Amino acid sequence: MLRLFTFVVLVALLVAGAVWLADNPGTVAVEWLGWRIETSVPVLLAALLAVMAVAHVAWKGLLGIVHLPATWSHSRRRLRQQKGYRALTDGLAAVAGGDAKTAGKLAGRAEKLLGDPALTRLLAAQSATLAGDAATARDHYNALLERPETEASGLRGLLDQALAAGDDGQAIDLATQARKLLPADPGLVDILETLYLRAGRLDETETLLDDALRRKALGRAEVDRRRARLLDSRAADAERKGDREGALAVARRAVKADPALAMATLRLSRLLMAQGKKRDAAAALEKAWQASPDPAVAEAYAALAPVGDALARVRHLEKLAQQRPDDVLSHRLVGEACLAAKLWGKARSHLLAAAEARPEAATYRLLADLEMGEYNNATAAQAWLDKAAAT
């Protein structure tokens, strides 16, 4: 708005000036070297403006001629840079496509055109890696460490080499250094966690997870899931050492961290059963089923059912299924138990619900058994078996 106002004021002043000069043209006389020129003020002003315009154009042209060598040199340098960056980009594409020969050729061309090896180190290292020249690639990666801008890329390259060589100690050192530069990188957390667990460094794994959560490399749910796996490993270690009480305490923590981790729940259930706490073992399995139905959990829960009493087994498994009544595994679990107890109607209801929710060969085979058990209908049974074969 201010610019528009200023423009309007300037135009108004120019128009007013032009009108005033038109009303008061006046005369101007100039004598120089025997020449006398008489004219009006507006004409003189117009002539001066024309002379100034010509002088300006001439000065610009002179400057252009003077700066022509520098301009040409700059243009040539810019063209070389464009070609260099194009070679660099094409080289990275060649690396992604697995073309080691082309990548190496383009890396050399990019370095020649750009005149800055630091810009092409990564491409040269990747092309050398692709060509199987680990020593050359290592040299390039080490050179990348010299500049703060490329240090992270150099560390990642050396880390990949250490992982490929199976040098876990070196890989841990490099991944730790890389995390100082990239603390929020979840990929580095994954690598370090795997290496720590492989080395049995459980305390450091737990510290890593806490740091990953603090730096937002991983979310709370993901950290809880990984912590549960870690705690389950601790429980397994305590169990191997004969420390059942310690194993039980840690197993409880693992299940609390991630109720859906079946292996932790199975361990907890087994440890509780060893203490004669059948009801607590069943409750742990029911919570796990509520979190995420798993066939291994169903098998462990079924093992707690009364032996030799088919109806009692049905009631027992129905209690588990009630935790997730609409899940396909719940329907199939109860349906199979009802089939064994010859509760044909309930078996059919559950098995058909399971087949509708998720068409699977195992469910179709149970329906075939149902047709034979209830009606001895070989034709209907064969139809289900044909569906099972086609699934």
Whole-number pLDDT of residue 308 = 86
- Per the prediction, the chain carries an average pLDDT of 83
Give residue 136's pLDDT band: very low, low, confident or very high (50, 70, 90): confident
Query: Between these two residues, 346 and 33, which has the higher pLDDT value?
Result: 346
Q: How far is CA 166 from CA 118, 142, 189, in A?
A: 29, 19, 18
- pLDDT tens track for 213-268: 999 999 999 999 999 999 999 999 999 999 999 999 999 999 999 999 999 999 99
- pLDDT tens track for 74-92: 555 565 555 554 554 555 4
Domain 305-391 falls in which CATH fold?
Answer: 1.25.40
Average pLDDT over residues 105-134: 63
- Phi first, then psi: give them for residue 39, nearest 5 degrees: -155, 175
Angle at the Cα of 315 (from 269 to 267), degrees rounded to 5?
A: 10
Average pLDDT over residues 99-119: 55
Whole-number pLDDT of residue 131 = 72
d(CA 357, CA 362): 13
Whole-number pLDDT of residue 99 = 52
Whole-number pLDDT of residue 95 = 43
Q: How far is CA 285 from CA 246, 333, 335, 390, in A?
A: 20, 14, 19, 34
| Rounded (10°) CA dihedral 59, 60, 64, 67 | 70
Output the CATH code of domain 219-302.
1.25.40.10
In the three-class reduction of DSSP (H, G, I as helix; E, B as strand; rest coil), residue 146 is classed as coil
- pLDDT tens track for 350-372: 999 999 999 999 999 999 999 99
Average pLDDT over residues 290-296: 95
Q: Where are the domains of the chain?
A: 219-302, 305-391
